[in-house]
Structure 1
Amino acid sequence: MAQMSGLSNDIADSIRSPFSKKFLEGGNRLSEHEMRIAAKVVDEGERLLLNLDAAMDKLAQQREAVREQVLQHKNAIRAFRRLPPEIISKILLSALPFRDPDDTADTPWYLGHICQYWREVALGIPNLWTDIVIMGNNYSMQKLETLLARSLNAPLKVVFWFSRGGDARLLQKLVDCAPRWSFASLFVSPAIFVYLTSVRGRIPKLTHLRINVVDYWTGAASADQSNPFEIAPALRDVAFEDLSGLAHPLVLPFGQLTRLKAVASAPAHVANLQRTPNLEVASIDISEEDYAPPGFLGSPIYLPSLRRLYVSSLSFLDQLVLPALEDLYIVDGPPEPLLALCARSGPSLRLQTLRIMWRTPAHIATILAACPTTQTLAVQIMESNDSVALLTGLTVGPRGCIGPNVSAIAFALDGGMLQQRHFLKMVESRWRVPVQGGACVRLRAIELLIPHDAPLSTSTVQRLERLRSEGLEVSILYNQEATEKMLDWRP
């Protein structure tokens, strides 16, 4: 500061004026001689100002250069600049959990713009470039070839979605790489499907397959009856929509599958399940409306390892024997098929989680009574539901409650309303029961999924927070998070 003050004094002293400040501010009339002196001072001052402006511009430039140097060197000594390539690789790969087909999978390209060092590391990670998502007709062959080159020989996760038009060379290019497929999601027309013929017997790494066929076969009968996925030794997880659009039935290695998600007719489901004795997880969506079979479509199917099941029609349970079932998601209907399933499956059946899209609280009460081992109850409340009856039934009273062994409860408000007063009464009644010797087990967790704008009152939130502070697990999810959690109910 002293140096700057001295510099200021030197500059001011360089302008020699014979006039005092009082004289200049007094408004006195100057003589011609005094006018010449004043004009000379003005000239000298203006030249000095120009020099000072130039000097200040130069100082500003120098200051900016110094500031830039400081910032660059600060960045150079930051911790993330000292990370070894192995750690950077893990960070980059953690940004790539495999996503749904709506994602364009552009993340690796963005990660390569963080800095030159990270870009070099990214280009050396084959697994960073293995997600290939081709949707519609705006995907370039150059981009595909770049991904294939950068991924080297790493297993590929392939999403290919278009039905007609577009560049079939893209699919042909992917077919050429079929030995590298580990995940494939294909949304194709019958005309495009023929390009898959040559993958048969060439997909040793394929573990997950998703396939949808759009449009229907309109051409002449094809002599090509090949089934590209019939031979896939590692395939364990398959999902497909109605495949009747193909010119011939699609054959899959059902006997080795452990997970199946399918939309098909009831007879097609029966035929498929009869060939999948090793299933552990299944999602059975009946494509026919109001499916209600007159009876068994053949003998009941024994699936000894099936632990988790979604079925869109309770009537279809008449086809099954599931001694290992633990997690069931159903659409509400008369509970008799489920009760019969419990009887057929024997004493080894110990259902632990029941998820239900409900209409009649009495059905839930009947099912819980027949499945006393149920510990988790998840209910999707629809717009037409009156939740008071269900909440009243779940509330611990002098005569006990329904589902006395249920320790975790979730409500998904899919357009329906939750009567908050009755909800809080139910939660607090099950939380306050004695740990031992009570009418039911103590509530361990409560979850609310609110996908639409249906905010809880301030008092409800405060009471739930109080219960959380006492040890109850409380989870409240809104909007997209709630919707995603609801989708997780279905295997």
Structure 2
Amino acid sequence: MPQICDKCGALLTNFRLPLPVDCLSSSRDLTHLLASNEVPLDSDLPLIRDIISSGESRVDILSSQIHNLQVNLTQLLRCRDDTANDIHRHRAILSPIRHIPPELLCGIFLLTLDGNEDTSKKPPWYLGQICRAWRHSALSFPNLWSSITVPSVSSGDSGLVSLVEAQLLRSAKAPLDVYWRNIRTSINPHLAGIVLAHCGRWRSLCLEETQSSPSSYPLNWLGVVRGHLHGLERLETNIAATIGHVIIPDVFLSAPKLRQVYLTNERFGHPSPAIMLPWNQITHYRGKSSPQDHRRILADAPNLVTCTLTFMNFTGFSPNTTVTLPHLRCLSLGEPRFLLQLTAPMLSELVSLSNPPSSIAALLPFVQYSGCTLTKLVLMRCTIGPELISALRGLAAITYLLVEASNGGPHSTLFDAMTISGDPSDLCPNIRFFAYGHRFRDYAWDHLFAMVHSRFPSTNLAILRIFHDGTMNPPEAWARLQALRDRGLDAEYLGRLRTVRLLESVRIV
């Protein structure tokens, strides 16, 4: 068994260096034989055989010593790895994460879920897979179990019922976010009963039905929550049905904290169901309905701060008296002509989803008689023409402008009008963010970059986005965009995927 040196830690062996090569050679010079093909003399043969024999012995000795060294090296490597692993295991004892309070640890985990999962639609059953200490913290942290998905189950599926019961137990007294799937087709009485029993803790409620039905159906099972929705703050519906086919009882009239109501999904796929709500306390609203219904809702909701309106049918609608929304800050709507129904003196952000010339003409009168100061304007599917330029000329306070053109031109007309020279008549001189795009190939690059250069850096234009929702590769623009970036402007050309993301992010305020 080899010994270890107490000074350097190396293994001690009886290793002995081999003799030098010249010590094994004879004093007789045989170089001339090694460097030629001469036949050796008979007197040289015994010496040559001795050299070969002694060399073979020396090779055997060296091979044995190399083997011993390899064995010792393997032992040293194994010993080093074991020691390093031992250090790592003991260092973990001193890790700061052991001193993080369970509340903070679960909060970090909850933020991670919010960034990567839709926690309102997927309960975290997988928490049992994390380490034991964290699992204990997770099981004892109610907020991690507060997103309840009511699954579509048959009456005999007791396994999912038990899981929901366990989650409700672990949620303790935390506010609940309840996502109710298939509200018409698959209501398990036992499952519905245990979730409805906790309605006093509901913070948000989402009702979804993806299967349309030609006949009406009442949600009578919701009646038991009437008068008990003390903590409900948000109501969301996504129901594939014609207006009037879903009958929702008036259980939300007595929800004192209800502020946010979203009666269609973010893509406006389904119309808003008929529902009675305490509109005078609602601050956030999204809906898809007729102009008449929207007008009635807004007349009853004077405290709206943000609002998104899309319309089922605008044909034949004529404005009469206007509705005043004194607190409205952000508005997104599918038809700008509806602005003629509104007065919003505090409005600062406006998103218009469709902008033919006749609709754009309603924009400036609305701003003028409302007396509002728009700073952000998004015009999607917009017709480029004199109506747009006229509207922009009256919006001097705009700092954020996004225009998605719906026609093939004349883009140069808009860019020329937006080129500034320092005169009081300059169009939107305070713009800091400008985004422009369309699905046609002609971008009028010379006019566009001339406009940008006139605004940067004279008015501190900070961000420029050129986008295209088709397939286009503008090599003539790359060098110019790079030159702008070199000067300090945040300028980019967005491809198809990033264009879709940009437009989706601004559709709803």
User: RMSD value over aligned CA atoms?
Assistant: 4.4
Q: Which of residues 218, 232, 238 is equivalent to 1:212?
A: 238
1:295-444 to 2 correspondences below 5 Å: 295-296=318-319, 298-330=320-352, 331-333=354-356, 334=358, 335-345=360-370, 348-357=371-380, 358-382=382-406, 384=408, 387-396=411-420, 403-411=427-435, 413=437, 415=439, 418-433=443-458, 441-444=459-462
Q: Which of residues 479, 491, 497 is equivalent to 1:459?
A: 479
Whether 2:303 is the aligned partner of 1:278: answer: yes
Whether 2:223 is the aligned partner of 1:197: answer: yes
Q: Is the 8 A contact 1:378 1:410 kept in 2?
A: yes
Instruction: Indicate the residue corresponding to 1:120 in structure 2.
Output: 136
Q: CA deviation at 1:252?
A: 1.0
Instruction: Indicate the residue corresponding to 1:16 in structure 2.
Output: none
Instruction: Indicate the residue corresponding to 1:23 in structure 2.
Output: 53
Instruction: Indicate the residue corresponding to 1:267 in structure 2.
Output: 292
Alpha-carbon displacement from aligned partner over 1:247-272 (angstroms, at most 9, x marks no partner): xx421111111111100011111111
- Judging changes above 3 Å, is the alpha-carbon distance between structure 1 residues 113 and 386 closer, same or farther for their aligned structure 2 residues? farther
SS at match of 1:97: helix
Q: What is the CA–CA distance in structure 1 between the aligned matches of 2:322 and 2:244, rounded to whole Å?
A: 36
Q: What is the CA–CA distance in structure 2 between the aligned matches of 1:104 and 1:141, rounded to whole Å?
A: 16
Instruction: Indicate the residue corresponding to 1:33 in structure 2.
Output: none
Alpha-carbon displacement from aligned partner over 1:313-356 (angstroms, at most 9, x marks no partner): 122122112222211111212233223323432xx322222111
Whether 2:269 is the aligned partner of 1:239: answer: no
Alpha-carbon displacement from aligned partner over 1:76-132 (angstroms, at most 9, x marks no partner): 3333344343442342232243888697535x4556644332222222321122223
Give the partner amino acid of 2:303.
Answer: N
Q: Which of residues 97, 106, 110 is equivalent to 1:80?
A: 97
Q: Is the 8 A contact 1:136 1:162 kept in 2?
A: yes
Give the partner amino acid of 2:15.
Answer: N
Q: What is the CA–CA distance in structure 2 between the aligned matches of 1:455 and 1:83, rounded to whole Å?
A: 51
SS at match of 1:9: coil
Whether 2:117 is the aligned partner of 1:97: answer: no
Q: Is the 8 A contact 2:393 2:428 kept in 1?
A: no
Whether 2:179 is the aligned partner of 1:156: answer: no
Structure 2 unmatched ranges of 5 or more? 19-49
- Judging changes above 3 Å, is the alpha-carbon distance between structure 1 residues 265 and 72 closer, same or farther for their aligned structure 2 residues? same
Q: CA deviation at 1:280?
A: 1.4
Q: What is the CA–CA distance in structure 2 between the aligned matches of 1:97 and 1:144, rounded to whole Å?
A: 20
Instruction: Indicate the residue corresponding to 1:183 in structure 2.
Output: 204
Alpha-carbon displacement from aligned partner over 1:376-405 (angstroms, at most 9, x marks no partner): 212224475554332232223598875233
Instruction: Indicate the residue corresponding to 2:38 in structure 1.
Output: none
Q: Is the 8 A contact 1:300 1:318 kept in 2?
A: yes
SS at match of 2:15: helix
Q: Is the 8 A contact 1:412 1:486 kept in 2?
A: no
Q: What is the CA–CA distance in structure 1 between the aligned matches of 2:169 and 2:470, rounded to whole Å?
A: 44
Q: CA deviation at 1:212?
A: 2.3
Give the partner amino acid of 1:371.
Answer: L
Size of the alignment, in residue pairs? 450
Q: CA deviation at 1:364?
A: 2.3
SS at match of 2:219: helix
Structure 1 unmatched ranges of 5 or more? 13-19, 28-40, 434-440
How high is the sequence identity, in percent, across the aligned residues?
22
Instruction: Indicate the residue corresponding to 1:32 in structure 2.
Output: none
Q: What is the CA–CA distance in structure 2 between the aligned matches of 1:199 and 1:21, rounded to whole Å?
A: 105
Alpha-carbon displacement from aligned partner over 1:31-76 (angstroms, at most 9, x marks no partner): xxxxxxxxxx9xxx9xxx9x99999999887666544423322333
Q: What is the CA–CA distance in structure 2 between the aligned matches of 1:374 and 1:135, rounded to whole Å?
A: 47
TM-score for both structures, normalised by structure 1 = 0.75
TM-score for both structures, normalised by structure 2 = 0.73
Q: What is the CA–CA distance in structure 2 between the aligned matches of 1:21 and 1:144, rounded to whole Å?
A: 88
